[in-house]
Amino acid sequence: MPPKRNPLNLNPLQLKTLTLLQALARIDGHVIRREEDGSVLVAGIPAPHGDHFHLGDATVASRDATGLSNQAAWVALERKGLIVSHFPQGATLTSGGLAYDTGLADTILHRHGGH
């Protein structure tokens, strides 16, 4: 049997928030520290304004990023062991948080020009 999609039953807001935090962990300048346990501390959370913002080489609709400023979403991700919240400054993504397949990266991270 294939692995269950979204085994931690994250809601849509939590899935989007985790997807964006994972994307930040892949962008130079946002990673503060990588730990031996596989966790990554990210900071410089962008503040969405207008209808979109840029996250590395991707464009993200502001409507998909409301969880970045929603402390409850971060609390839920922390409770499920995916991040350690330092809301609103940053988050430590656990190795499980980095590896969690949200299934949304291709949906909410819009890349242009074949990236």
Q: Give 53-81 pLDDT, tens digit per residue.
A: 999 999 999 999 999 999 999 999 999 99
Q: Give 4-56 pLDDT, tens digit per residue.
A: 789 999 999 999 999 999 999 999 889 998 999 999 999 999 887 889 999 99
Chain CA centroid to CA 56, Å: 13
pTM of the model: 0.93
Residues 6 or more apart whose Cβ sits within 8 Å of residue 60: 20, 48, 52, 53, 54, 108, 109, 110
Domains of the chain: which residue ranges?
12-111
Q: What is the CATH number of domain 12-111?
A: 1.10.10
